[in-house]
């Protein structure tokens, strides 16, 4: 139930992105760049405060470095292959790399840490909202909008599936869960600097960089609350 509620914010963010055209022209572009930056800040906070610390707690130093680097390499190659076909799914991939391992961790925490799991579910939902917004805007440029909304709706049950794996499988396999977190963190970091961050700059606008700060603050608030 918790992971489903967290996952619903993905199509909710996509739904909001369909109506950002109601904003006046002078505000629309800065708002869009600010949301991209906010999503980037939230993704970076997931790496720095959840995926890497939790992953390194579960695996040794050398495997952690190898897995982190492997995540960046694999998603770099995948991004290169997709770019050859003019595909635009980098923000969608980054969102799923964040969402799936965190949902697995959520499931693993349900045994003995229900209060922490509840807080983590809220944080995942707050992260997924701007990430769903950004992913929709990136992918909607390729057309096929009527079919695209079903892709985002299909992401909702991915969370419960990942949480069940975390609860019934990875709860007793901390090294595997840690490896998944580190691999995902490497992939997210690559995608942030390859595709997300370059879309943020906007001349004579303070909103986008502040959005990145606020996005990281969201993750920091959750990290401090969990601590």
pLDDT band at 202 (very low <50, low <70, confident <90, very high): low
pTM of the model: 0.76
Averaged pLDDT, 196-214: 70
What confidence category does residue 90 fall into, taking pLDDT thresholds of 50, 70 and 90? confident
Do the Cβ atoms of 52 and 68 come closer than 8 Å? Answer: yes
Q: What mean pLDDT is predicted for residues 48-57?
A: 85
How many helices and strands (H and E) does the chain possess? 10, 0
Q: How confident is the model at residue 18 (pLDDT cuts 50, 70, 90)?
A: confident
Instruction: Compute the average pLDDT of residues 81-101.
Output: 75
pLDDT beyond 80 at 153 = yes
User: pLDDT tens across 73-82, in order?
Assistant: 988 888 777 7
* pLDDT value of residue 142: 55
pLDDT at site 64: 92
> Averaged over 41-45, what is the pLDDT?
82
Residues 6+ apart with CB under 8 A from 73: 186
Q: Does the pLDDT value for residue 206 go beyond 80?
A: no
The residue-averaged pLDDT of 125-144 equals 76
Euclidean distance between CA atoms 175 and 188, whole angstroms: 20
Average pLDDT, the chain: 79
**Res. 68 pLDDT band, cuts 50 70 90:** very high
CA dist 130 and 10 (Å) reads 8
171: pLDDT strictly greater than 70: yes
Within 8 A by CB and 6+ apart from 207, the residues are: 30, 31, 33, 34, 37
């Amino acid at each position: 139930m918790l992971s489903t509620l967290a996952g619903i914010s993905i199509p909710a963010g996509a739904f909001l992105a369909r109506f950002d055209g109601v904003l006046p022209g002078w505000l629309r572009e800065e708002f869009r760049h600010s949301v991209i930056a906010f999503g980037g800040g939230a993704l970076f906070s997931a790496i720095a405060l959840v995926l890497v610390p939790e992953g390194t707690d579960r695996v040794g130093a050398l495997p952690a470095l190898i897995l982190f680097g492997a995540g960046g390499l694999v998603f770099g190659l995948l991004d290169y292959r997709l770019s050859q076909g003019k595909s635009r799914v980098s923000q969608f991939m980054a969102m799923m790399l964040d969402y799936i391992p965190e949902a697995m961790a959520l499931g693993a925490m349900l045994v003995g840490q229900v209060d922490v799991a509840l807080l983590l579910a809220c944080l995942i939902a707050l992260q997924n909202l701007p990430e769903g917004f950004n992913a929709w805007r990136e992918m909607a440029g390729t057309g096929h909008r009527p079919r695209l909304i079903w892709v985002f709706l299909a992401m909702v049950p991915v969370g419960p599936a990942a949480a069940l794996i975390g609860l019934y499988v990875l709860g007793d396999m901390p090294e595997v869960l840690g490896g998944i977190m580190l691999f995902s963190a490497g992939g997210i970091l690559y995608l942030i600097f390859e595709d997300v961050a370059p879309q943020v700059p906007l001349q004579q606008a303070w909103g986008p960089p502040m959005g990145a700060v606020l996005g990281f603050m969201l993750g920091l608030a959750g990290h401090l609350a969990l601590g």
